Amino acid sequence: MTRASRWDAVLFDLDGTLADSIELILRCYRHTMQVHLGEVPPDAAWLAGLGRPLHEQLREFARTDAEADAMFETYETYQRSVHDELVRAYPGVADMLDAIAGAGVRLAVVTGKRREMAVRTLRVCGLESFFPVLITPDDASPGKPSPAPVRAAAAALGLTRSSRILFAGDSPHDIAAGRAAGVRTAAALWGAPEPGPLLAARPDYRVETVDALTALVLA
């Protein structure tokens, strides 16, 4: 296979980068807050934490550790019931992955979503076959913005040259994790609900569209 990219691998966040799942995430958040708090804080309070492991996000809203555990169970139970109808791949993502893989570039997902639901999301979106490596909070701890999940993905791919790895995500926590791991980072603006904080995290590249990321990788 002829290499047609300067990159050895591209790592992707899942929700908001490959999968259009923001409505799913917000519905699960609102349901969980209503059940346990009797009210729903502004969506922006939840969106600011996207990219981190779910339990860590919930702990910031819970009044006790026990309540955080209960919130986690509520969130995941509700998520399982509505997931498949509310998640889909962003338009053009499958073509992008096909083109990148065809250039000899390795692919991996690095997500704050637990493995069970991450695998389900990839399957529903028709993207499962592209990713031999999937790093979740079940595989590396602590989660993003720690560099541990990014480093775990690089190790699973057998790669050591961090400067030849690109991590694309829609959250400031993705950018922070990539920077801490020494890889290059790309802000996936097509899925970012709040682009300001994402760009303030100082990504190496900003990409407005899926096609723009394809062009960046294959340039």
Active-site residue 204, yes or no? no
Q: Which residues contact 202 (CB under 8 A, 6 or more apart)?
A: 175, 179
| Within a domain: 208 | yes
75 in Cβ contact with 175 (< 8 Å): no
Q: Which helix (H) or strand (E) holds 207?
A: strand 205-207
pLDDT at 2 over 60: no
**pLDDT tens digit sequence for 68-90:** 999 999 999 999 999 999 999 99
| Within a domain: 4 | no
171 in Cβ contact with 15 (< 8 Å): no
Query: What is the CATH number for 161?
Result: 3.40.50.1000
Residues 99 and 72 in one domain: no
| Within a domain: 3 | no
Residues 73 and 130 in one domain: no
β strands within 81-197, DSSP E: 88-89, 106-110, 133-135, 165-169, 184-188
Number of separate domains in the chain: 2
Query: What is the CATH number for 65?
Result: 1.10.150
Tell me the helices (H) and strands (E) count for the chain, helix number first.
Answer: 10, 8
| End-to-end CA, the chain | 17
- Examine the fold and report which residue of 86, 102, 136 is the final residue of a domain before the chain moves on: 86
Closest CA to 105 of 206, 4, 176: 4
6 in Cβ contact with 164 (< 8 Å): yes
| Within a domain: 2 | no
Q: The whole model's pTM is what? A: 0.90
Structural domain for 178, as ranges: 9-21+88-218
| Within a domain: 109 | yes
Residues 68 and 156 in one domain: no
Work out the pLDDT band at 52, boundaries 50, 70, 90: confident
Residues 80 and 93 in one domain: no
* Active-site residue, selected from the candidate residues 8, 13, 20, 139: 13
User: What secondary structure letter does DSSP report for 61?
Assistant: T
Q: Which residues contact 201 (CB under 8 A, 6 or more apart)?
A: 172, 175, 176, 179, 187
pLDDT at 139: 94
Question: Token digits for 147?
Answer: 């560099």
pLDDT at 51: 79
Work out the pLDDT band at 4, boundaries 50, 70, 90: low
- Examine the fold and report which residue of 36, 62, 86 is the final residue of a domain before the chain moves on: 86
pLDDT at 1: 43
- Examine the fold and report which residue of 86, 104, 134 is the final residue of a domain before the chain moves on: 86
Residues 80 and 125 in one domain: no
| Within a domain: 135 | yes
10 in Cβ contact with 18 (< 8 Å): no
Residues 100 and 76 in one domain: no
